[in-house]
Structure 1
Amino acid sequence: MSATKSKITIGHVFKTIVWPRRKLLAVGLLLIVISRVAGLALPWASKYLVDEVIAKKNIPLLYNLLGGVIAAIVIQAVTSFLLTKLLSVEAQHLISVLRVRVQKQILRLPVRFFDNNKSGALVSRIMTDVEGVRNLVGTGLVQLVGGLLSAVICLVLLIRISPLMTLYVLVPVAVFGFISLKAFNKIRPIFRERGKLNAEVTGRLTETLNGVRVIKGFNAEAQEIKTFEAGVERLFLNVKQSLTTTSLVTSSATFLLGLASVGIMGIGGYMNIQGSMSPGDFLAFTLYLGFMIAPIVQMSNIGSQLTEAFAGLDRTEEIMNMEPEEDSTKRVKTISHIQGDIVFNNVSFAYEEGKPVLKNISFTAPSGSVTALVGTSGSGKTTIAGLAATFLNPDNGLITVDGIDLSTVSLNSYRSQLGVVLQDDFLFEGTIRENILFPRPGASAEELNRAVHAAHVHEFTDRFELGLDTVIGERGVKLSGGQRQRIAIARAILADPRILILDEATSNLDTESESFIQDSLRSLMKGRTTFVIAHRLSTIRQADQILVIEGGEIAERGSHDELIAKKGRYFELYTYQARI
């Protein structure tokens, strides 16, 4: 799995985000040009107000000027409304599209990626990192271009009034532009780091809320508060650093443009006294100067927003460039109906290089058979099941299904015929009905009822006021461990898979419930290739083959009676549990 480490380029953003929306942005640019030109009516009218209306007491011209300024104000209001309606809405739409795209990409990544990343951090990557594009497609980019255009128009008008004063103004403006450019180059990695820190803090907070019972059970609230405070402090220091940089830009703008204003007062006042400039021209120059400086200062703020947008897109691009688990160039084979013959041939696997978890595992699981995996914790049982489920890919060796290399089979065609009951029996927030229907939302009421009874879910739902429509809370927190596991088994029964993986499927059941579930599981496993991981060895006596996994290798294999007769490792485990 690889990801690009380089920054996302302006050209890439222009090609993928800006150019496809060029027509909309062109309309937005036209609107902002109209708005900015209309805004120039006020300084233009001020010259005539002083030199023509007040000096010459020209009342009719006063009415004309007022009418023109009111019309300009209306135009500004209308164009501002249309600009927000067009571009801001499109920006939010793009954010929605990008969130869906990133979420889709993340779900396509291998299980190993999720093992190495916090769910809360991934939520931040999906929801927060893409928000900056609103400054690219929304009013930000258009205002940047519009502000530049306004500044150029005002500059021309300023030169027409007084080239000398304009030249004096341009010196501090140029210095301000240089400072801003340097600041934005420095600020981009700060924003990028902020996204990472925000993801870490969000991830830890999500873990804290999910594990609140463990935290309270160990009286560890103070410890978690301290951990969260440390993360928030790092985030604060990052924000502080960016604020320091942006405040430098703002302060330099205040200082440099303030100097320009003082100079204009001096030069303009002197020219008025000398009679080389009329009071109206001086007033117009002052107002035009404000109209030129305002978008320049605004552009510095927008520049900061665009820098933040690029930093978020950098992180988004990392996700989008990661290799998905479904390699379309390699997984080209589709199996419409799986028979279920699975063969492991010298399979090795390691989560970390140099630390093998499985070493040259070889066995055959014929169609319709039950293969039980037993052994101590960490021996590699769950890893074998993960390989059979295509959650993991072998580092060496070959896994075949119906004689076809599993690494070449389309994941969609394979997993559509796969059922799993995992050790953590994960349930989604919602109702019991919704959780059981999860693999087949369109299943009939009869099929649902059959699965409910087969897994003995009705034994406890019949006692609930809302029955199957009972809301179970996040991760099924309102249910007992045994109840959650029965729902997970019912879900697998409804899926009607060809290959079934049961990872400690009865670990959370009491003895009476387990006897019911074992009957259901025997019915479920009939005719399906099944892998069973169980610490309770009494539950796997009827398995077609039992593999004893020790240190990532198959220490023993055979049926229950055969392994008991050998009096080896399986015999030790079985008799030890029998004594307990």
Structure 2
Amino acid sequence: MFSKRNKFKFFHQLESIDCGPACLAMVASYHKKHFTLKELKKLCSITRMGVSVQDIITGAQKIGFEAEALKITIEDLEKIPLPSILYWKQDHFILLHEIRNKKSGKNYFLADPGYGEIKLDQETIIKEWLGTSDKGVAIVLQVAETNELNSSKLEKMRFKDNPLVKPIVAFVKENKLLYSFTTLLLVLGLLANWAMPLVFRKIIDEGIINKSLQMVWILLLAQFGLFLGNFFSDSISHLILTKINFKLSLLLKNKLLNKLMRLPISYFDTRLNTDTLQRLSDQGKIQAFITWKGLELILNFLNIIVFSTMLFFMNKIIFVIYIVLSILSFVWVSFFLKLRAILEYSMFLRQSENNNSSYEFIMHMPEIKINGAQQNMIDKLLTIQEKLNKIELRSLFLNLYQVVGVSFISKLKEFVTIAFCAFLIINGKMTLGSLLSITYILGELSRPIQNFINYVRDAQDADIAQKRVNDIYTEKDENESHHLALKDKIKSLRLDNVSFKYPGSFNPFVINQLSFDIPVNQITAIVGQSGSGKTTLLKLLLSYYVPTGGSVLLNGTDLSSFNAEQWRERCGVVMQDGHIFSGTIAENIAFADPEIMPEKVKEAARIACVDSFIELLPLGYNTKIGNVGIQLSGGQKQRILIARAVYKNPGFILLDEATSSLDANNEKNIMDNLNEFFIGRTVVVIAHRLSTVKNANQIIVMNQGQIVEIGAHDELVSGKKHYYELIKNQLELGN
């Protein structure tokens, strides 16, 4: 079946994982229904691995499509309804929207969210889509006759409501006196510049032609004065603006960092870290464009208006020549805008991939060497760099075409103007002073045109950057729907029929219909084989995630109703992958405390049995650790993390394999100290070691996301079931 070349809105993927939802957005727009990429990413349950074929089908069905995945041959592509989504190279999705028969063969028109709209021949389609197989996967989407396709109810964001624009406008209002003074200086500089061609003409026509040396000196001094005025006003204004913009930069960075802190953990779980890091640098592009390029645009616009008016009154024909050739320059530059935008999106995606691979290469060098994977990693990095180089080369050629075209038109403008002026001078219809004035004016007018290429490029960069940054700002805050303040004393903590699965159709339920109480002021231990859902359960208790089904109840109220930050402030936590930050040992222990309390730090270190190690160090608690300091063993890291949790003096303590890297003696000493510290506190411990869990008031045994046993140590051992099987080797060693 062949498709008419209907119009659809092309969607760029903002991240390397967005290709599936972007294709779905294009299909929806083809059917005159419009969704934001953010909406479709959510409907497709996107993860940091992207989406599966089934995820796209599920998302499509939610917005009213009948969707089906077919494994078909190249010939079958002509029989399916278009547009359809193709599973490309086993790791990407692109849109096929038209097939055309030509004498030379078939042409396939595709839209690649990471590259742009492309046309390929059949041989390339076979190579990229089918690979070594004779069939490829296509997702066919149709609107059922009995079902009206849903559409997004979200309105397009107004400029003034843009989360990036509002703080900038507020900042400008707050500093309006400085901005007003700077504007005055810039206007004075412009006035001096605008007077230059008039002085030039008088020097030639009234000074040199009339051989009046006095007039020449007077006019030269006036010209020098205008130059100094322009120079100083421009320099002072730029110095003031630079200082103001430093403040604005801090304001915007503070706003973005605070927004990131307010986002739920699930946001970071579904994105590559390097994509988020890229957005931090994106904000700098936006700020630079608004503050510097915006001002530059206004100044260029004023120069064009004033100098064009001067040119019009000096000679209308030259003015027309200038306007016609300037319009031609704008048309030439605009011709490349769409292609350049596509290259910028592609560049971002490849750069993010390159940053991620480079980070892994540097940070995990020991693992690479141990496994003898040096050449594999180098080949991977070089392959990504080759792809990046190809995009950069295309971008370089594109810029070259733009610059050469505009330069040619500019030179043509100069040639035609000078030739016409020479004709007028020879015929006595123009003075030499007027020629020099016109030449100066054309020089001043050519700069804004030359800058137009850079301005358009920067505008596109800023637009792409603001879309990516707004992807952060438009995310809901973690506590946006958490209206209840956590003020009361915690009297009960219960899981009521809780189930949970991570996003993605390929992910099974990790927690399945759990119901049990966690006794307040007692110790609850959770044990089970690896992958049984223990750590996920702990994250649900910490409000990292909202259960897929059921509720975690705090004093009988759903935990998701409370402010998550207030709940976590009451918890001391040690996770398996806890992090040691760059800084001193004291700063790491008193991590969330702006004012470190030395005695409290030492007491926490004593309980964690890390005090003797610290006191042997020359700088003691002021010793630098993390990426900028001394290297710690796994056991030392765990003890500092335990000290960090103890320092908070929390009412709730949650430990996930907190002593797994410790030897038996160290673990015994720490557990003796912790058991004393646990008195009067609610404790949840995940562990495999018998010594860590045997003293718990309640032991919960998990298997494949479900509770298979619950009770105290002696009771479960005598039952000789799941718990006994888990620890019997340790029991034998103990005996």
- Same fold per TM (> 0.5)? yes
C-alpha separation between the residues in 1 aligned to 2:634 and 2:374?
A: 25
- Please, which moves more after superposition, 59-68 or 466-475? 466-475
C-alpha separation between the residues in 2 aligned to 1:275 and 1:263?
A: 18
Distance change (3 Å), C-alpha of 1:367 and 1:489: same
Choose the corresponding residue for 1:448, options 565, 577, 601. Answer: 601
Choose the corresponding residue for 1:66, options 211, 220, 223. Answer: 220
Cα pair 2:586 2:596 within 8 Å, conserved: no
The amino acid that maps onto 1:158 is L
Aligned-pair CA distance for 1:497:
0.9
Structure 2, unaligned runs of 5 or more: 1-35, 41-154
Structure 1 residue aligned with 2:692: 539
C-alpha separation between the residues in 1 aligned to 2:682 and 2:616?
A: 35
1:8-58 CA deviation, whole Å, 9 max, x = no partner?
Answer: 776656952664426455554443333233123332222222222221111
C-alpha separation between the residues in 1 aligned to 2:535 and 2:250?
A: 37
Structure 2 residue aligned with 1:279: 432
Structure 1 residue aligned with 2:532: 379
Choose the corresponding residue for 2:490, options 332, 339, 345. Answer: 339
Structure 1, unaligned runs of 5 or more: none
Choose the corresponding residue for 2:166, options 8, 16, 34. Answer: 16
1:289-326 CA deviation, whole Å, 9 max, x = no partner?
Answer: 11111222223322322321222111111111111221
Structure 1 residue aligned with 2:358: 205
Distance change (3 Å), C-alpha of 1:377 and 1:405: same
Alignment root-mean-square deviation, CA: 2.5
Distance change (3 Å), C-alpha of 1:284 and 1:326: same
3-state secondary structure, aligned to 2:624: coil
Cα pair 1:249 1:300 within 8 Å, conserved: yes
Structure 2 residue aligned with 1:97: 251
Cα pair 2:329 2:449 within 8 Å, conserved: no
Structure 2 residue aligned with 1:179: 332
C-alpha separation between the residues in 1 aligned to 2:157 and 2:630?
A: 42
Structure 1 residue aligned with 2:414: 261
3-state secondary structure, aligned to 1:502: strand
The amino acid that maps onto 2:377 is E
Q: Is 1:154 aligned to residue 307 of structure 2?
A: yes
Choose the corresponding residue for 1:361, options 514, 517, 523. Answer: 514
Structure 1 residue aligned with 2:25: none
How much identity, in percent, do the aligned residues show? 28
Choose the corresponding residue for 2:193, options 28, 33, 39. Answer: 39
C-alpha separation between the residues in 2 aligned to 1:379 and 1:298?
A: 61
Structure 2 residue aligned with 1:511: 664
Q: Is 1:462 aligned to residue 615 of structure 2?
A: yes
C-alpha separation between the residues in 2 aligned to 1:477 and 1:39?
A: 60
3-state secondary structure, aligned to 1:391: coil
- Please, which moves more after superposition, 21-30 or 57-66? 21-30
Superposition TM-score, scaled by structure 1 size: 0.93
C-alpha separation between the residues in 2 aligned to 1:335 and 1:140?
A: 47
Cα pair 2:300 2:448 within 8 Å, conserved: yes
Structure 2 residue aligned with 1:110: 264
3-state secondary structure, aligned to 1:379: coil
Cα pair 2:696 2:712 within 8 Å, conserved: yes
Cα pair 1:172 1:260 within 8 Å, conserved: yes
C-alpha separation between the residues in 1 aligned to 2:406 and 2:519?
A: 76
Cα pair 2:486 2:562 within 8 Å, conserved: yes
- Please, which moves more after superposition, 453-462 or 541-550? 453-462
Higher relative contact order (CA 8 A, sep 6+): 1
Structure 2 residue aligned with 1:49: 203
Cα pair 1:38 1:76 within 8 Å, conserved: yes
Q: Is 1:559 aligned to residue 709 of structure 2?
A: no
Aligned-pair CA distance for 1:104:
1.5
1:89-110 CA deviation, whole Å, 9 max, x = no partner?
Answer: 3333322222222221112222
- Please, which moves more after superposition, 318-327 or 360-369? 318-327
The amino acid that maps onto 2:493 is I
Cα pair 1:506 1:514 within 8 Å, conserved: yes
Q: Is 1:223 aligned to residue 376 of structure 2?
A: yes
1:484-519 CA deviation, whole Å, 9 max, x = no partner?
Answer: 111111111111111111100110001110110110
3-state secondary structure, aligned to 1:352: coil
Cα pair 2:590 2:601 within 8 Å, conserved: yes
Superposition TM-score, scaled by structure 2 size: 0.74
C-alpha separation between the residues in 2 aligned to 1:45 and 1:466?
A: 71
Distance change (3 Å), C-alpha of 1:28 and 1:177: farther
1:130-155 CA deviation, whole Å, 9 max, x = no partner?
Answer: 11134334332112111111112111
More strand by share: 2
Structure 2 residue aligned with 1:415: 568
Aligned-pair CA distance for 1:365:
0.8
Count of residues in correspondence between the two structures: 577
The amino acid that maps onto 2:702 is I
Aligned-pair CA distance for 1:426:
1.6
Q: How does 1:522-533 map to 2 (within 5 A)?
A: 522-533=675-686
More helix by share: 1
Distance change (3 Å), C-alpha of 1:31 and 1:302: farther
Distance change (3 Å), C-alpha of 1:544 and 1:361: same
Aligned-pair CA distance for 1:183:
3.2
Structure 1 residue aligned with 2:451: 298
Structure 2 residue aligned with 1:88: 242
3-state secondary structure, aligned to 1:555: strand
Distance change (3 Å), C-alpha of 1:413 and 1:196: same
